Structure 1
Amino acid sequence: MKKIFATAIAAATFAVSAPAMAATDITLTESNGSFNGAFASPAKSGSFTDSYTFTVPTSGFVTANLITLAFNIPGMDPVVNFVLDKVTLNGTDLSLIAVGDYNYRAETQSLIMSQANPQTLVVSGTVTGGSATYSGNVAFRAAPAVPEPGTWALMILGFGVVGYAMRRRPSVRFAQAI
């Protein structure tokens, strides 16, 4: 009895511990100070969850968008049904907008702060009655430069010295002729 129980536990553990799907890398290319990269999926059918990663050169803001395309396999019935469940960029949900029958657009509504590398885009959904695909791009823009605290301190000190010098300047007196 103990042997059967141990075998059942081992089998359940093996079934649950399926290997995780490796993430696909997106290569960013630089153009005029911003970085962009494209991605695309192969044809999908059934439930899927795809993970994409990319690396940014410094801290800044990341955005992403994708568009889906559902198509029928000739002679297949019923019509393909593509449901895009969730798209996240660094854990932030993207807005899903229907742009036609079973076609979606997912996009960030505002800039998302980059996290420690790698950045992660996750797409999940279900396709039944045929196959579908999606593609999109990610973009990165560096955060604007902010002076370091030492720079701020030196600037404030400079204003103080100028103010002190103006206050301590001897006043000019005019002599009057009688």
Structure 2
Amino acid sequence: MLIRSLLVSAALLFAGAASAATCTPSTFSLGALPGGMPSAGLSSSCTGGSGPNGDPSRSFTEYYSFTLTDPASSMVGQFDLHLQRDFTPGSPTFGQFLSGISVQAISLIFDGVETFVGTGFGIGGAERASFFATDLLAGDYTLAIYGAIFGASGSGYYDGNVGVEYVSHAPEPGTYAMMALGLLGVGYAVRRRSQR
């Protein structure tokens, strides 16, 4: 019992000593997204996380809210992670990433349901994170980015763009009727002119 109490106390002390990563996005709300690419820009700086690499205290989650005004056929996002690489000739870590941000998962939350849509493909070779979603309904969404800081510097940042392709609407029957009336009017004017 005494050993268990000591272990719990040590774990709480260690957890209190490690500080969590914090991020500062430039914008939390992206508003109503227009169609095209880019529809909106995202960026964030993250610092902190005093624990060792892989420690949960170095992880972060960021949320960006936005609105789709109409159904969208697709939504795509691409983020540059701005990692620090070792370029020192002769270094045992030459060419490897030394510090920065990794993105483990990107998801969309709509109507209380969270759906995985992309990733940064881990720390090893990823300098980018991306996501892709199709057949989205109109409404309010949240983009969730799950990541972590790695390396000795305890900081990193990312930026990127999001694009939306809205569903093109077929013309309404009234539009066809107006077009037909316009063509009839032009035909009548041409015929009348040719009879003069």
> TM-score interval w.r.t. the shorter chain?
0.5 to 0.7
Report Cα offsets for 1:34-82 as digits up to 9, x if no partner: 360101012344210001111122111322222211238xxxxx93253
**Structure 2 length as normaliser, TM-score?**
0.49
Task: Pick closer, same or farther for the CA change 1:44–1:104 going to 2, 3 Å.
Answer: farther
Instruction: Using the TM superposition, give the Cα deviation of residue 25 of structure 1 relative to its aligned residue in structure 2, in angstroms.
Output: 0.7
The equivalent residue for 1:92 is: 116
User: Could you tell me which of 77, 81, 98 is aligned with 1:79?
Assistant: 98
CA contact (8 A) 2:102 2:122 kept: no
Unaligned runs of 5+ in 2: 1-22, 49-57, 86-96, 110-114, 174-196
User: Could you tell me which of 114, 127, 137 is aligned with 2:136?
Assistant: 114
CA distance in 2, matches of 1:92, 1:47: 18
Q: How is 1:12-161 mapped onto 2 (pairs within 5 angstroms)?
A: 24-27=28-31, 30=34, 34=36, 36-45=39-48, 46-61=58-73, 62-71=75-84, 79-80=98-99, 82-90=101-109, 91-97=115-121, 101=125, 103-108=127-132, 111-128=133-150, 129-130=152-153, 131-146=155-170
Q: Over the residues paired in the alignment, what is the CA RMSD in angstroms?
A: 3.5
Counterpart amino acid of residue 132 in structure 1:
G
Instruction: Using the TM superposition, give the Cα deviation of residue 107 of structure 1 relative to its aligned residue in structure 2, in angstroms.
Output: 3.1
Unaligned runs of 5+ in 1: 1-20, 73-77, 152-178
Percent identity reads: 18
Structure with larger Rg: 1
CA contact (8 A) 2:80 2:159 kept: yes
CA distance in 1, matches of 2:126, 2:168: 39
Q: Aligned residues, how many? A: 120
CA contact (8 A) 2:33 2:164 kept: no
Report Cα offsets for 1:132-169 as digits up to 9, x if no partner: 11111111222122578xx6xxxxxxxxxxxxxxxxxx
